[in-house]
């Protein structure tokens, strides 16, 4: 953990060049030294009362072991909850830090009915986070929106170690291939297969490819 502090490994990954809500990001554009983010948790309405907004404030670069212990504590607490929707829109918890906090354990999962991925820039960590750390229970419970015509929902259908030829490559490579199948929300005729590729024995995403099925 001390090495993570020394190397300034970020707690979360964030791109302030884009937001679906530009006004929300105005402060980040004007104040480049703003190195905190908020993880918002919105409970459902209970007995006619409005839900209280819960906020977990996260430091971009941890400065003390205590900060890391507090963040790990709340992540573990969240892993024992069932979450209706997880939305990855403006940033995400760094999978490298989750791996560090839980010693690479495959048992840590966030449990959700639906997972929403709003993708504009390609971040392999988004897909690593979804694959490794989120258990999705809803039917076709992954919502995917790349701010174009591809607004889809789908699910993981299988994973296996096999040879795969990437779109712009001539040679096949042996890797772990995780397959997802998506269908259009506004356009029912849209049918897309997504392939997340991992080197054998590694958690790091090697590539992500999407292929439209006609």
pLDDT tens digit sequence for 128-184: 999 999 999 999 999 999 877 789 999 999 999 999 999 888 899 999 999 999 999
142-145/151-164 β-pairing:
antiparallel
pLDDT confidence of residue 121? 60
Of 160, 203, 159, 150, the C-alpha closest to 180 is 159
CA distance 151 to 62: 36
Residue whose pair of structure tokens reads 């269908």 in the numeric block: 183
Among the candidates 148, 169, 185, a domain finishes at 148
pLDDT confidence of residue 58? 87
Confidence tier at 24 by pLDDT (50, 70, 90): very low
Tell me what the mean pLDDT of segment 58-62 comes to.
Answer: 90
Average predicted confidence (pLDDT) for the chain: 85
Q: How far is CA 212 from CA 16, 147, 195, in A?
A: 30, 17, 12
DSSP-derived 3-state class of residue 46: strand
Tell me what the mean pLDDT of segment 176-199 comes to.
Answer: 95
CA distance 20 to 1: 34
Of 89, 126, 131, 125, the C-alpha closest to 110 is 131
- Say yes or no: 99 and 171 in one domain: no
Asked if 93 contacts 100 with a C-beta cutoff of 8 angstroms, the reply is no
Confidence tier at 26 by pLDDT (50, 70, 90): very low
Confidence tier at 51 by pLDDT (50, 70, 90): low
Confidence tier at 14 by pLDDT (50, 70, 90): confident
Among the candidates 148, 168, 202, a domain finishes at 148
- Say yes or no: 124 and 165 in one domain: no
- Say yes or no: 98 and 71 in one domain: yes
pLDDT tens string 67-118: 999 999 999 999 999 999 998 877 889 999 999 999 877 778 999 999 999 8
Of 4, 129, 13, 15, the C-alpha closest to 60 is 13
Q: Is the pLDDT of residue 22 over 80?
A: no
> What is the four-CA torsion angle of 56, 59, 60, 66, rounded to 10 degrees?
-110
Q: Considering its fold, how many domains does the chain have in total?
A: 2
Asked if 86 contacts 134 with a C-beta cutoff of 8 angstroms, the reply is yes
Choice between 21 and 138, residue whose per-residue pLDDT is larger: 138
Among the candidates 91, 116, 148, a domain finishes at 148
Number of neighbours of residue 44 by Cβ within 10 angstroms: 6
Q: Is the pLDDT of residue 25 over 50?
A: no
- Say yes or no: 161 and 104 in one domain: no
- Domain enclosing residue 159, as ranges: 150-213
> Would you state the structure tokens that stand for residue 200, as one six-digit string?
């054998």
- Say yes or no: 138 and 68 in one domain: yes
- Say yes or no: 91 and 51 in one domain: yes
> Would you state the structure tokens that stand for residue 39, as one six-digit string?
């993880």
Please give the full DSSP string across 48-80, using - where no structure is assigned.
Answer: TBPPPPEEEEEESS--SHHHHHHHHHHHHHHTT
- Say yes or no: 61 and 84 in one domain: yes
- Say yes or no: 56 and 132 in one domain: yes
- Say yes or no: 122 and 80 in one domain: yes
CA distance 48 to 51: 9
DSSP-derived 3-state class of residue 61: coil
Q: Label residue 101 exposed, middle or buried (CB < 10 Å: 0-12, 13-18, 19+).
A: buried
């Amino acid at each position: 953990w001390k090495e993570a502090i020394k190397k300034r490994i970020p707690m979360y990954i964030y791109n302030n060049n884009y937001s679906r809500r530009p006004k929300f990001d105005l402060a980040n554009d004007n104040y480049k030294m703003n190195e905190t983010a908020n993880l918002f948790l919105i409970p459902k309405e209970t007995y006619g009362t409005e839900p209280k907004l819960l906020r977990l404030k996260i430091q971009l670069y941890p400065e003390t072991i205590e900060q890391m212990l507090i963040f790990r504590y709340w992540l573990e607490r969240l892993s024992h909850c069932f979450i209706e929707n997880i939305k990855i829109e403006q940033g995400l918890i760094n999978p490298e830090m989750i791996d560090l906090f839980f010693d690479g354990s495959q048992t840590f999962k966030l449990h959700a009915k639906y997972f929403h991925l709003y993708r504009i820039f390609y971040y392999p960590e988004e897909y690593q986070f979804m694959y490794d750390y989120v258990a999705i229970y809803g039917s076709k419970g992954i919502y995917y929106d790349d701010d174009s015509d591809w607004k889809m929902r789908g699910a993981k259908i299988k994973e296996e170690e096999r040879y795969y030829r990437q779109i712009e490559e001539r040679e096949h490579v042996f890797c772990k291939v995780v397959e997802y199948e998506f269908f259009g929300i506004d356009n029912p005729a849209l049918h897309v297969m997504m392939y997340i590729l991992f080197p054998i024995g590694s958690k790091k995403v090697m590539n992500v490819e999407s292929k439209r099925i006609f």
